[in-house]
């Protein structure tokens, strides 16, 4: 069901958690917003993603997220229950997009959701945010475990160990890439090339070296 809300300029949008947007345009006229739950949740997730890419989730307020999304800040709690739940929703959404990116072979592109996911996750973890564990179908873990098991011939336990260690390397690089590039004097290198080298290194980690190799 779709709703249409009208908010008079004299009203406080924060008074009604079901209200849809800010109160007035530049001319002082009442504004109208038509939205449904799915569209509003999507707008909030997209706005939060944009902000979390630039700043730590803990430093981003609910009002700021709602302002970027163009909705009432009360809708964050109305639809997600808490800001923390919105952070988790952002990560879950990016994990789905990251799996598609891994399957398409674009995981190391500059605008890849894998990079976005990793950087937001890393910032949230460093803030000691209470997040759900990485899902078993995390794209990096799945790809590395599959490589170790199906190509490297490792048993399931060994494949998971290799995958977790490889994921630590990949996520560490993606999270601290600018700092690592600068600290290593690699400013003249193309970041895409460096990520391709990371991909090769991950493959070597996943596939054990034989005595004949």
The reported pLDDT for the residue numbered 133 is 59
**CA 144 to each of CA 130, 132, 194: distance values in angstroms, whole numbers, following the listed order:** 26, 21, 19
Give the separation between CA 102 and CA 142, rounded to whole angstroms: 10
H-helix or E-strand containing 21? Answer: none
Mean pLDDT over 31-43 rounds to 74
| Spatial distance between the Cα atoms of 206 and 196, rounded to a whole number of angstroms | 15
Higher pLDDT, 17 or 54: 54
What pLDDT, in 10s, does the model give residues 147-202?
888 888 889 999 988 888 888 888 888 888 889 999 999 999 998 899 888 888 88
- Report pLDDT for 136: 57
CA angle, residues 28, 34, 37, in degrees to nearest 5: 130
Q: Are strands 3-7 and 31-35 parallel, antiparallel or unpaired?
A: antiparallel
pTM, two decimals, is 0.68
pLDDT digits (tens, 9 = 90+) for 42-97: 999 999 999 998 888 989 999 999 999 999 989 999 999 999 999 999 988 988 88
If we measure between CA atoms, which residue out of 29, 35, 48, 31 comes closest to residue 4? 35
């Amino acid at each position: 069901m779709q709703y249409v809300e009208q908010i008079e300029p004299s009203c406080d949008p924060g008074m009604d958690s079901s209200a849809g947007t800010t109160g007035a345009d530049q001319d002082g006229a009442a504004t109208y917003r038509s939205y449904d739950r799915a569209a509003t949740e999507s707008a909030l997730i997209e706005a939060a993603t944009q902000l979390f890419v630039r700043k730590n989730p803990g430093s981003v307020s609910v009002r700021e997220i709602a302002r970027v999304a163009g909705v009432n800040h009360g809708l964050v709690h109305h639809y997600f229950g808490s800001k923390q739940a919105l952070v988790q929703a952002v990560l879950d959404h990016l994990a789905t997009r990251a799996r598609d990116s891994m399957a398409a072979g674009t995981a190391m592109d500059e605008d890849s959701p894998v990079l976005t996911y990793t950087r937001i996750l890393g910032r949230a973890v460093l803030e000691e945010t209470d997040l759900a564990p990485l899902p078993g179908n995390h794209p990096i873990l799945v790809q590395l475990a599959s490589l170790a098991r199906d190509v490297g011939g490792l048993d399931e336990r060994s494949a998971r160990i290799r995958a977790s260690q490889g994921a630590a390397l990949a996520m560490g690089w993606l999270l601290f890439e600018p700092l690592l590039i600068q600290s290593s004097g690699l400013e003249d290198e193309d970041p895409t090339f460096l990520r391709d080298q990371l991909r090769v290194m991950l493959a070597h980690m996943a596939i054990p070296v034989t005595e004949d190799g």
